Amino acid sequence: MDPQRERIQADLRGLISGQVRCDDAFVQMYSTDGSIYQVAPLGVVRPRNAYDVQVAVKYAADNMLPIHARGAGTGLAGESLGPGLVMDFSQGMRRIVSVNHDHVVVQPGVVLGQLNRYLAGFGKQFAPDPATGGVTTVGSVVSLDASGSNWLRYGSARRHVRNLQIVLADGESFEAGRHPVTDDPYLDPVPRRRELVRRLAELIQREESVIRANQPKSWVNRCGYQLHDVLADGQLDLAKLIAGSEGTLALITQLSLAIEPIPKQRGLCLLFFDRLESAATAASEAKSLGVSACDLMDRRILSLARDLDPRYAQAIPREAEAMLLVEQQAEESSHVLETLQQVAMRWQRRRRLAFGFHLALSPDEYDLFRRLTRRVSPTLFRVQGSERPVPFIEDVAVPPDVLPEFLVKMQNVFKAWQITASFFAHAGHGQIHVRPFLDLTSTADVNKMPELATQLYEEVLAVGGTISGEHGCGLSRTWYVKRQTGALYDVLREVKRIFDPQNLLNPGKVVADVPQPLTKNLRLAEAESTDRPLTETQIADNPPKEKVDLHLVWRQLPQIEADSCNGCGRCRTMSPEMRMCPIFRYAPAEESSPRAKANLMRSVLQGELPASSLASEQLKEIADLCVNCHQCRLECPAEVDIPKLMIEAKSQYVVANGLDTTDWFLARLDSVSRWGARFGPIANWILHTRWTRWVLEKLTGLAQGRKLPRLQSTTFMRRADRNRLTRPARRTGGKVLYFVDVYANWYDTQLAESLVAIMQHHGIAVYVPAGQLQSGMARISLGDVERARKHAAKNVAILSEAVRQGYEIVCTEPSAALCLTQEYPSLLDDDDARLVAEHTTDACAYLWKMHEVGRLELDLRPINLTLGYHQPCHLRALDVGSPGESLLRLIPGLSVRRIERGCSGMAGTFGLRRDNYRASLRAGWGLISALRDPLIDLGTTECSACKIQMEQGTTKPTIHPLKMLALAYGLMPEIEALLTARGEELLVT
C-alpha cells in the first residue's frame, strides 16, 4: 500500500463507523465493473449510514479527492469507476426503512429484486424492471434512470421518484424533492437548497429555447441531464433532476419511491419472424396495441437460448430469424388473453409479418420466457473464440417508427467494418442493446472502436435518436455527449458547476472538460498466444510478468479463464430462482462474490498484483470465501470456473505457508476417522461430551456446537472384505465399482450396505476395491493440492483398470462423484483420469438411468411418510438432475416435498470450523426452518455434510434416498427399526 492510500485509510477509519479499505486487493476488486474498463481507485469506503457519507465526502472535499458512488457494480459504461474513492453503498446501507400504501422508503444499497420480493407481501412493486434487477441496487436504478422492458407501461425510474435524501459535494445534506423557486425562508427553510433551486431555475428559464431545441425525438434519453421537465408552476423538481445524473451532482443516501399494485394477471406472446425488418415493423405498432412490453431478439440470441434450455428449444423454431416477446399485464386473465391474441392475429394473419406464435400464460411458463430477457446479454459470453460481445455502443435508442430502416442502416455499418454483432431491443419504445463481437487483445479491433461508434452514432442522431437510452454515459459515451447535445452542452456544464464546483463527484462522466477517449483504460484481455516479437518500447512499457508456477492442469491459460468474467454481477444475486454463491448470500460484500475472485486472480496472473500476493493472508481470506460448491460455475452466464481458480489460489498459499491446525485436521478426516474407529466407544464419548468437545475445539478448531455423527464399530470396508466384495466379479453383465467415501465407510455403513443390497437385488455385481483411498475433496477444497494429487493418482490407477474391465464407478457421496469427474482431471493430466471421469456417476443417477430404460424393479412396498428433500450443491454440479428425488417419488405412499432454500450452509468442511459455525447456520437457516414444518416427517438428501446440517437444527433424522429405496424393497429391515426407535411411525406394507 502506497503512503497516500495508507494515510487516507488511517484518516477515514478514525472518522467513520463504516469500513475503509485501501489495500491492494480491494483496489483491484473495485477497479472493474460490468463494463470493458479498468481504473484502480485510491480506496473503498463502505458507509453504514448517512453520517458516514457526509463525513467521507467532507474529507474528500478537504483533500480534493474524487468520489465515485457504486452499487452492485453492474454498469456497462464504467459509471462507477474512477481514480478517487469508491463509495460502495451495497453492503452497509441496504435497509428498507418503511412501506406505505403508495410509496416505500429505502436506502440506496437495497437490491431491486429483494425490494420487490418484500413489497410483493403487500401486493406492491417498484415498477421499472431493468434486466439486472436481480442484482442491481435501487440507488443505481435511480442514478441511471433505468427502465427495462416494461417502459411502455411504467416508464423509467425518475417517474417514480418522490424525494431523495442527498449529500452534496461539500458534505451538506438535505431532502431533495419538488421545491418552490423562492428566497423566502418560510417556504423553504434550507438556505443551501433555496440557493440551488434558484440558480437552477434561472439557468433553465434563460436557456429554455436551447433545451427544447436539443431534445432527441426518441422516447427515452439518458444522455446528459434531463432539464426539459423539471421546472413547472414555479417549482423545481430536484429529485427528478438528480435521477439519471450518475452520481455526478449529488450522492443519494435515502429514497422515497412510488410503488404500484402488482397486476394480478400477466402473459406473454412469442412471435416468430423470418426477417428482422418484419419484426421491427411489427414492434413499431406495440404502443398503439396497448401492450406492456415488446422485446426483440435476433437469431444469434435465439440460437443461444435453444442451447441454454430444452424448453426454449421446444418453443422457438430453428427457422426464426427474430422473435418478439410481447407482454401484457392486467387485472383479468381474459384481458391478457384477448390482447395477446389480437396482437398475434394482427401480425401473423392481417399484416403477414410473423409466421408463428406461442402463448405463455401459466406463471411457470411466463417466468421461464421473461427470464430469458434477463439472461440475454451475459449469455453471449458463452460464444467460443477470442472475440467477445463488447458493450460500448450498447444503448442507442431511436423513435420506434423509424426502427425498421434504422436496423438496416445499423447492420450496414457493421458490414462495412466486417464486424459481427448481436442485439436485443426493447423494440416497443425503440431502445437497442447491441453488442459487436471484437477481440480486445487485437490492436486492429481496438482501433476500430472509436470510428465504429462515431459512424453508428451519426446514424442514430440522423433519425433523432440518442446515444444512451438507459445505461448512462459513463466512460463509454461521455466523449460523444457534446456531439449529441450541441449548444445544450454548455448548459449541462453549468448545471454541474452549480452542484459541484470543484468537480469531485464522479468526474469525467456525463459532462467533462477533457472527456476520456473511448479506448482509454480498457480492461484488456490476455491474448491466448502471440507470434509477434515485442519491440524495445513495448518491452519497456510492459515489463515481464512474475511467473506463477501453476499447480493445476489448465486446458487454457488461467488468466484467460479469469478474464472470461465480464463483471455482469449475476453472481451477486439473492434471487430464490438461483442457488449461486451461498457465502455471498449470508455476507453480501464484494469480496464474497465470485466476480471479485476472478478479478483478483486476473490481477495476479496479468501482473497487476505481484505473484507473491497469492501467499499473503489477505488474499487467502478472500480465497477462503469460496467453499468449492461449484454453483457459480453452473449459474455464471459466461461459465467461468471460479472454483478452479480459487483452488489454484489456495494451493499457492498452502505451498508457501502450509495448512493451519484446523485445515490440517479437516484435510485428514479419513486418518482421524481411522484412528477413532480403533477406539470406537472412547472416540464417540469424546465427540459427544460437552467438555471434551470444548477441549477438541481449542486443539483443532472443530466447532463445539456442531452435532457430529457416531463412528461405527466396524467399517464398511471390513464388511465388504468379509462378504468378498473386494474381489472383482468374474461374470459378465451389469457390474459396478463402488467408490466408498469417508462418511459411508466410518459413519453410515448402513448407506453403503443399502447400495450393495439394491444393486444385488437387480442382479448387478458390486466390486469394492480394497486399495481405494478417500476422494480427497476436502484436501482439494482447502488447497492441499499436492497431497490430494497423490491420493488421486493411487485411486485413478485402481479405478481406470476396473473401468477397462467393464465396471462403471458409482458413488453414494455427491462430493466424491464430483471430485472424480471434475477435480481429478485438474490434478492429473493423463488419459486414465479422464477415463475415470467419463465412467463415474452418482449412485442414484445410475439407478435412475436404469429406470429410464425399464431395468429398475418396481416391487416397492408403500411407505406412508412425508419427506423434505434437499438437493445438494455438488449433486447439482454433476448436472444429472435430481435422481434421488425422482427415485423417492416411485415409492407408493411416499410424499416428497422439495425444499428450495439454497445451499445447506455446511459446504463440506466449511461448517465444521469454529470460525465458520455461526455463518454456516445463517447460510442454512432457510433449509433448517423449512424442515421444522410439522407436516414433514423426515429430511432426505444425498450429501452427508448437508445431512449433518439438516439434523443440526431439528430433532428429525435425515436419511439418504438409497436407504429409503432399500427399505421400500424390503432389503434393509434394520433401517425401519432404526427410524422407529427414533420415534418415526413407519407404515410399511
Instruction: Grade residue 864 by pLDDT with cuts at 50, 70 and 90.
Output: very high
C-alpha 122/C-alpha 979 separation (Å) is 42
pLDDT score of 984: 54
Instruction: Give burial (CB, 10 Å; 0-12/13-18/19+) of 792.
Output: buried
Closest residue by Cα to residue 66 from 88, 90, 83, 89: 83
pLDDT score of 529: 39
C-alpha 593/C-alpha 572 separation (Å) is 6
pLDDT score of 491: 97
Angle at CA 319, nearest 5°, toward 318 and 322? 95
Write out pLDDT tens, residues 162-209: 999 999 999 999 999 999 999 999 999 999 999 999 999 999 999 999
pLDDT score of 537: 42
544: pLDDT strictly greater than 90: no
**Average pLDDT of span 431-453:** 94
Whether the pTM exceeds 0.85: the reply is yes
What residues does 86 pair with on adjacent strands?
A: 44, 68
408: pLDDT strictly greater than 90: yes
Chain Cα centroid distance, residue 655: 31
Instruction: Grade residue 753 by pLDDT with cuts at 50, 70 and 90.
Output: very high
242: pLDDT strictly greater than 70: yes
Q: What is the DSSP letter of 547?
A: P
Among 53-57, 682-686, 840-844, 956-960, whose mean pLDDT is lowest?
A: 682-686
| Residue 216 grid coordinates | 432527441
848-852 LR contacts (CB < 8 Å, sep 24+): 848/880, 848/881, 848/883, 848/886, 848/887, 850/762, 851/886, 851/887, 851/890
971-975 LR contacts (CB < 8 Å, sep 24+): 971/754, 971/757, 971/758, 971/761, 972/750, 972/753, 972/754, 972/757, 974/750, 975/750, 975/754
C-alpha 477/C-alpha 79 separation (Å) is 10
What is 939-962 written as a DSSP string? EE-S-HHHHHHHHHS-SS-EE-HH
530: pLDDT strictly greater than 70: no
**Listing from the earlier edge strand, what are the strands of the sheet with 96-99?**
96-99, 103-106, 251-258, 161-167, 173-176
**Average pLDDT of span 713-731:** 90
| Residue 333 grid coordinates | 386473465
538: pLDDT strictly greater than 50: no
- Let me know: does 37 contact 523? Beta carbons within 8 Å: yes
Phi, psi of 809 (to 5 degrees): -90, 130
Among 145-154, 361-370, 530-539, 797-806, whose mean pLDDT is lowest?
A: 530-539
**Average pLDDT of span 288-307:** 92
Closest residue by Cα to residue 823 from 792, 790, 853, 848: 792
Write out pLDDT tens, residues 830-851: 999 999 999 999 999 999 999 9
C-alpha 594/C-alpha 584 separation (Å) is 8
71: pLDDT strictly greater than 70: yes
**CB count in 10 Å sphere of residue 382:** 14
| Residue 47 grid coordinates | 458507509
617: pLDDT strictly greater than 60: yes
Angle at CA 227, nearest 5°, toward 224 and 232? 170
C-alpha 361/C-alpha 872 separation (Å) is 32
pLDDT score of 755: 96
What residues does 867 pair with on adjacent strands?
A: 896, 938
**CB count in 10 Å sphere of residue 212:** 11
pLDDT score of 525: 62
C-alpha 166/C-alpha 54 separation (Å) is 9
737: pLDDT strictly greater than 70: yes
Detail the DSSP E strand segments found in 48-102.
67-70, 85-88, 96-99
575: pLDDT strictly greater than 70: yes
Instruction: State the chain's mean pLDDT as an integer.
Output: 92
**Listing from the earlier edge strand, what are the strands of the sheet with 231-232?**
178-180, 235-237, 231-232
Percent of the chain exceeding pLDDT 90 equals 84
C-alpha 780/C-alpha 819 separation (Å) is 9
576: pLDDT strictly greater than 70: yes
C-alpha 835/C-alpha 436 separation (Å) is 39
pLDDT score of 215: 95
Q: Which residue has the cell 439473492?
A: 574
Write out pLDDT tens, residues 755-767: 999 999 999 999 9
531: pLDDT strictly greater than 70: no
pLDDT score of 981: 59
Q: Which residue has the cell 479419513?
A: 670
C-alpha 896/C-alpha 543 separation (Å) is 61
Instruction: Grade residue 535 by pLDDT with cuts at 50, 70 and 90.
Output: very low
pLDDT score of 733: 73
Chain Cα centroid distance, residue 891: 36
Instruction: Grade residue 732 by pLDDT with cuts at 50, 70 and 90.
Output: low
| Residue 294 grid coordinates | 415488446
pLDDT score of 223: 95
539: pLDDT strictly greater than 60: no
Q: Which amino acid appears at position 934 of this protein?
A: P
Among 94-98, 531-535, 667-671, 885-889, whose mean pLDDT is lowest?
A: 531-535
C-alpha 836/C-alpha 729 separation (Å) is 19
Q: Is the dihedral of CA 15, 20, 21, 26 positive or negative?
A: negative
Write out pLDDT tens, residues 974-986: 777 766 655 555 5
| Residue 507 grid coordinates | 468526474
C-alpha 508/C-alpha 877 separation (Å) is 43
**CB count in 10 Å sphere of residue 627:** 25
